Amino acid sequence: MEEKTTALNVQENGEIKEAEVKTAATVQKADTEQQPETHAHEILDGSVIDYSTKSLSEILRLFQEMIDRGDQQELYKNADIIKASFYKVLKKEKIASGMFMQPGSEEAATAGEVKKTQEGEETISNNPFAEMERGFKELYSKYKVERAGYTKEQEKGKEENLKLKLGIIDSINMLLEKAEDVNHTFPAFRELQAKWKALGAVPQEKAKELWENYNRTIEKFYDYIKINNEFRDIDFKKNLEAKTELCKKAENLVNAKNVVNAFNELQKLHEEWKDLGPVAKDEREPIWERFKAATSLINKKHQEYFENLKEQQKKNLAGKNELCESAEKIAEERLEESSQWNALSKKMEDLQAKWKTIGFASKKDNQKIYDRFRAACDKFYNAKRDYYAKFKDVMQENLKKKEDLCAEAEKLMASDDWKKTTDQLINLQKVWRSVGPVARKQSDVVWKRFRAACDAFFDKKAKHFGGNDEQFNENLTAKRAIIEQIKAYVPKESKDDNIVALREFQDKWNGIGFVPFKEKETIVREYDEALNLHFKDLRDPEEEKKMSRLKRLITDAKSSGKGDRGIRFEREKLLAKFHKVESDISTLENNMGFFAKSKNADLIKEDIKKKIAAGKEELKQLENKIKMIDKNF
């Protein structure tokens, strides 16, 4: 319930009228309890200092500078925030250095102690964190001592103000005894009022009683002093003008955008109102009702503001709880593949981005919910870091294994024991497939080395057996027949129909095996010339070369007795390329969301869209090649 006191306004006929106004204690209490919550650590020169981002030495330096400035209001506002930030950073740096110990352990109980020698002299700990903590405790103790002294001085000052104000009341009562000397009494009364206003606060428990005493004395002066009507009317008029101005100021505050500031300004207006004298009897009730009406509106808005703020903070807390639950669920995942870690990292980043869009929770909950979310994020990223640290070692081991396989293959590539060496190389290929991945920058190098050794042997084997293989001549005849079919083709009006025909000719051609080596260049040139007669604009030369090469690998593996040599390696390479293109597309699509609406941004976005489309087309081609391999092996 709101504390109130009674201001006694004097009427012309001596009648006393009661009007309710808030006491100084009430205003002070409302001002303290209804301030909006702040989440800034400190405000200095208009900038915010977040101590939790500072190092231990920086926090100590800032605290020392603040103590040296001696501004007790600044210290009172920031000391406990600095203390909490210091121990949070201390714990974080201990963990980072590996020196953090579980609370309650024997090491933790003795860590950082300032020990004493047998002679009673203190020795400094070798633990740098203990020294930091000891230095902070000394600064904080110094602040507490100074704060206690400052508080004591403040209370002493309030007691002195109380004595002086009681003296002023006595002086006004003494003026009543000399009321007949109006020319002396009234200026003296005004001087005493000015002294009263100039004095500061008094002990809170005495404020109400003192104010009521002072107000009664003022009213007695106006009611019983034998002042002439001219002085009284002038004073009433002056007081009315001052109170009217206060009413205008209060009414202007009703529509202020910042409700909290308006409420605080209103308290100052109430203090000014209390220090003003009475007005004429017929003006007292209307002027007070006007001021009270503005006060009621501002108080109502102030109350509604904090009710809405409290409700919003509840919603914010609920939203942040959901994010914490999601983050904690992600942090509990146990993953074994890099792609899984990347996918969950994206989810965690999305949660962090969403966290930033949610406002503060209540003061008592905000730090707790933030610490909970931060703990889940830290747990996930620490686990990810540990995974990749171990994964790096595993890839290094895999590289060593593959290099050993390369060395073995290189020893066999000059052999002419076709059957035995073929079996040995095929076995090495199987072992290669069972070895896990290596770092991307080393993967192509070691793969090309291994493949070169295998190809060297099988190419030599194919050349050895190729001269006696009549199948090559049959293949040559079949390919010449296809060339004649292409030349006889009559293009259709539909582009799609022509594309279908082109692919049929290409599939037939690629389905035929090797031709004699000396005829190879001639037959390929004739084939290209025939296709260009009707399909030049529909062909993709580079893609045809890649597809032709793949089909040759498949045909060679089936017909030459090499088994699946090189095919599985080709599939592994295609699959790696597929994942990379897929990842690049995902990155490009993600980047699209970061561009604001502008002319330059639109141009960049169009370029990215083209790259995405090209990437998706490449994915289709890669997928077709992988399916072709899977279909044959």
What pLDDT was estimated at residue 4? 35
Give the pair of three-digit tokens for residue 2: 């709101």
C-alpha to C-alpha distance for 158 and 203, rounded to whole angstroms: 6
What pLDDT was estimated at residue 633? 63
C-alpha to C-alpha distance for 250 and 297, rounded to whole angstroms: 10
What pLDDT was estimated at residue 286? 92
The SS3 assignment for 18 reads: strand
C-alpha to C-alpha distance for 515 and 525, rounded to whole angstroms: 13
What pLDDT was estimated at residue 534? 81
Residue 307 exposed, middle or buried by CB count within 10 Å (0-12, 13-18, 19+): exposed
What pLDDT was estimated at residue 181? 58
The SS3 assignment for 17 reads: strand
- 272: nearest Cα among 235, 237, 239: 239
What pLDDT was estimated at residue 224? 61
User: Hey, where are the domains in the chain?
Assistant: 40-98+125-204, 314-390, 393-632
Phi, psi of 598 (to 5 degrees): -160, 165
Provide DSSP, 492-540: -S-HHHHHHHHHHHHHHHHHS----GGGHHHHHHHHHHHHHHHHGGG--
What count of residues does the chain have? Answer: 633
Give me the amino acid identity at 554: I
C-alpha to C-alpha distance for 260 and 34, rounded to whole angstroms: 8
The parts of the chain modelled with pLDDT lower than 50 are 1-46, 105-114, 117-118, 467-468, 562
Q: What is the 3-state secondary structure (H, E, C) of 554-618?
A: HHHHHHCCCCCCCHHHHHHHHHHHHHHHHHHHHHHHHHHCCCCCCHHHHHHHHHHHHHHHHHHHH
Residue with the two structure tokens 């092996």: 633
C-alpha to C-alpha distance for 581 and 88, rounded to whole angstroms: 43
Report which DSSP code applies to 14: S
Provide DSSP, 40-101: -S-EETTEE--GGGS-HHHHHHHHHHHHHHT-HHHHHHHHHHHHHHHHHHHHHHHHHHT---
CB 507 within 8 A of CB 485: no
Residue with the two structure tokens 């330059």: 600
What pLDDT was estimated at residue 38? 37
- pTM for the complete prediction? 0.34
